[in-house]
């Protein structure tokens, strides 16, 4: 492990007259923010949807479908991004005057990912005129062709990286497609459909549609809670555009102006709505919504997001909460099995494969992505975990480390060994794939070779970037409040980390696996602060050190109406 301090931008245009506190200014500069104008979070600062390639063709199709009251079917992905994208599409088109809008989400265990020909056959049973993919479709060459051959119009909205061939859809809206000039390529699927629908609302306003029909013009901000949840849960980079979307969605949630289903998820997760931050969406709401797609059917999650009745939403949220409990039990067992499998290789950290592939026929397909993530965090190298589908084929979920584009790596392996991989798709940090079970040993070797071709031993060394070593006088409630509200923090815009050495005044175990500390300073006898470390290894639980060297975050602890500063320990060194 290497610990480095983040270096702030040197060519900053930050005016000396700006009143941003010095600590926060340093933190922003270390994340590439050049001035206060780049941390604005107002909706007016969002780019125009007009810059999206394929937008006008999609708007033409939507307008014709609306005037003819055609049947529209959304086909979504089975994760939180797909669920929020689908719910947003159904709600927004309904508010704009469509009367026949439905959705279909493939059961991942029966159909797999994307608009396959099998999904098209299932979609045809609903007799749609227009099919709109959300959070998928950019790699569905055969599925789109089958839909159009059946007489359907197809709009593909997606954010995943395209392959060498694009589907022959009537319109494609994806900021990652060649020739698209939209200022960010980091939108989640829900962000893509949001911008498309915002542009459609603007066109209908221009046409006088709402006045003509006597219906209220919908406010697109109404659905920013869905956009925020899908964006954070899909772990896309929180660049300036996504930070605006997430911040605005969080503000609506904090005010209670959001979907009853989201309020219900907050309740069952035990989160205080008024103190909500982006990490709550990623660690509390997202997993509960994703549990539907991982263990059962994401249709349940979408129905929750569409539900208007708070009591019904609460019952549905409780069911998802139980699914999430079941998911954690399965994941824990799989993680223990995976670690035993790695230990059985009799390899140390230095001789472990650089690209690690793990497979067990008993592993649950819906949880292998989480497993890959946990193993990647432990060994700091690209990991692919595989489960087995009903046909005996392997379904893998890949997670990567900084500097290794996992989707491009799979593309390279597939090109070098034709027929080895059935299909694949994804992002830089996460991807999915399928292959025949007999191909696993050969694929594992090929993947390790590709990782070794691209990486060096130094890149396999975990690097933790801190923002500063704070003085005791800088660790106070005002700083914690400032940082809490300065986000949203997330992928590629991480919450500030600090390092410090403290005297342990006392410690106790809480919840069986967490450590609660009272910490002091060797240099300031009047200083004392609370700290908590979650999910601590047993060897550290048993230790009683006189002092600790820790990596931590500043947070605000609220208890019985009283707020205090708290250190959330990320690492005990």
Say whether both 445 and 472 belong to one domain. no
In a domain, 20, yes or no: no
Domain count, the chain: 3
Distance from C-alpha of 193 to C-alpha of 210, rounded to nearest angstrom: 21
* 483 domain-assigned: yes
pLDDT single digits (tens) 445-494: 999 999 999 999 889 998 999 999 999 999 999 999 999 999 999 999 99
Peptide bond into 488 cis (omega under 30): yes
CA 540 centroid distance within chain? 31
Residue 113 DSSP class:
S
53 and 68 together in one domain = yes
- Both tokens of 303, joined, read 């129905």
pTM comes to 0.90
- What pLDDT score was predicted for residue 479? 95
Q: Is the confidence at residue 108, as pLDDT, over 70?
A: no
Same structural domain, 450 and 469: no
Q: How far is the C-alpha of 302 from the C-alpha of 82, rounded, in Å?
A: 9
Classify residue 393: in a domain, yes or no.
yes
Residue 112 in this model has a pLDDT that exceeds 80? no
In a domain, 9, yes or no: no
pLDDT at position 302 is 95
Segment 273-301, tens digit of pLDDT: 999 999 999 999 999 998 888 777 889 99
139: CB partners within 8 A, 6+ apart: 114, 160, 162, 163, 167, 423, 425
Do residues 122 and 92 lie in contact, with contact meaning Cβ atoms separated by under 8 Å?
no
Residue 305 has pLDDT above 80, yes or no: yes
- Please determine, for residue 571, whether its predicted confidence score (pLDDT) is greater than 70: yes
pLDDT of 340 > 70? The answer is yes
For residues 401 and 479, membership in a common domain is answered with: no
* Domain encompassing residue 353: 345-460
Which pLDDT belongs to residue 337?
Answer: 85
Separation between Cα atoms, residue 126 and residue 152, nearest integer Å:
12
Q: Judge if 127 and 227 occupy the same domain.
A: yes
| Residue with more model confidence, 166 or 336 | 166
Same domain, 74 and 135: yes
Higher-pLDDT residue of 334, 252: 252
- Please give the Cα distance from 328 to 323 (Å, whole number): 9
Per DSSP bridges, beta strands 463-466 and 2-5 are parallel
Give the mean pLDDT of the chain: 92
The answer to whether residue 499 is domain-embedded is yes
Answer yes or no: is 31 within a domain: no
Residue 302 and residue 161 share a domain: yes
Whether the per-residue pLDDT at 55 is higher than 90: the answer is yes
- How many CA atoms does the CB half-sphere of 68 hold within 13 Å? 12
State whether 175 and 63 are in the same domain.
yes
Residue 351 counted as domain residue: yes
> Which residues contact residue 426 at a Cβ distance below 8 angstroms, ignoring those fewer than 6 apart?
160, 161, 398, 406, 407, 410, 432
**Residue 194 lies inside a defined structural domain of this protein:** yes
């Amino acid at each position: 492990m290497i610990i480095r301090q983040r270096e702030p931008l040197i060519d900053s245009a930050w005016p000396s007259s700006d009143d941003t506190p010095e600590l926060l200014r340093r933190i922003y500069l270390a994340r590439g923010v050049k001035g206060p104008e780049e941390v604005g979070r107002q909706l007016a600062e969002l780019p125009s949807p007009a810059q999206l390639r394929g937008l006008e063709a999609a708007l033409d199709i939507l307008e014709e479908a609306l005037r003819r009251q055609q049947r529209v079917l959304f086909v979504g992905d089975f994760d939180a991004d797909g669920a929020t994208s689908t719910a947003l599409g159904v709600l927004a088109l309904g508010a704009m005057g469509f009367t026949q809008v439905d959705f279909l989400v493939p059961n991942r265990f029966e159909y797999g990912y994307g608009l396959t020909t099998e999904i098209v056959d299932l979609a045809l049973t609903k007799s749609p005129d227009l099919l709109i993919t959300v959070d998928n479709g950019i790699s569905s060459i055969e599925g789109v062709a089958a839909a159009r051959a059946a007489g359907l119009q197809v709009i593909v909205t997606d954010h995943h990286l395209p392959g060498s061939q694009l589907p022959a859809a009537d319109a494609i809206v994806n900021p990652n497609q060649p020739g698209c000039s939209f200022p960010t390529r980091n939108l989640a699927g829900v962000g893509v459909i949001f911008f498309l629908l915002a542009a459609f609302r603007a066109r209908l306003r221009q046409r006088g549609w709402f006045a003509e029909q006597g219906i209220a013009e919908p406010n697109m901000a109404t659905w920013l809670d869905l956009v925020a949840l899908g964006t954070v849960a899909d772990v896309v980079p929180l660049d300036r555009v996504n930070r605006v979307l997430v911040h605005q969605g969080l503000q609506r949630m904090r005010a209670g102006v959001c979907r009853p289903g989201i309020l219900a998820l907050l309740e069952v997760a035990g989160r205080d709505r008024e103190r909500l931050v982006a990490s709550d969406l990623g660690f509390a709401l997202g997993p509960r919504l994703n549990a539907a797609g991982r263990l059962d059917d994401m249709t349940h999650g979408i129905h929750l997001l569409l539900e208007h009745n708070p009591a019904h939403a609460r019952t549905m949220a409780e069911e998802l909460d139980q699914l999430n409990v079941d998911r954690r039990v399965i994941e824990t067992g799989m993680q223990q099995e995976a670690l035993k499998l790695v230990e059985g290789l009799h390899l140390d950290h230095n001789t472990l494969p650089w690209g690690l592939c793990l497979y067990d026929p008993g592993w649950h397909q819906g949880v292998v992505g989480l497993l890959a993530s946990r193993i990647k965090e432990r060994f700091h190298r690209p990991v692919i975990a595989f489960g087995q589908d009903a046909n005996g084929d392997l379904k893998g979920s890949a997670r990567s480390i900084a500097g290794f584009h996992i989707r491009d790596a799979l593309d390279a392996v597939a090109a070098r060994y034709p027929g080895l991989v059935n299909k694949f798709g994804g992002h830089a940090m996460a991807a999915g794939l399928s292959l025949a079970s007999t191909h696993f040993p050969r694929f594992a070797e090929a993947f390790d070779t590709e990782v070794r071709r691209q990486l060096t031993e130094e890149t396999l060394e975990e690097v933790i970037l801190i923002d500063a070593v704070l003085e005791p006088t800088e660790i106070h409630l005002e700083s914690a409040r400032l940082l809490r509200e300065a986000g949203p923090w997330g992928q590629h815009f991480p919450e500030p980390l600090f390092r410090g050495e403290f005297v342990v005044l006392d410690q106790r175990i809480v919840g069986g696996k967490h450590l609660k500390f009272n910490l002091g300073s060797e240099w300031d006898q009047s200083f004392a602060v609370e700290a908590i470390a979650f999910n601590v290894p047993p060897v550290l639980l048993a230790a009683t050190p006189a002092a600790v060297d820790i990596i931590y975050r500043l947070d605000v602890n609220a208890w019985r109406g009283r707020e205090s500063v708290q250190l959330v320990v990320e690492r005990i060194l």
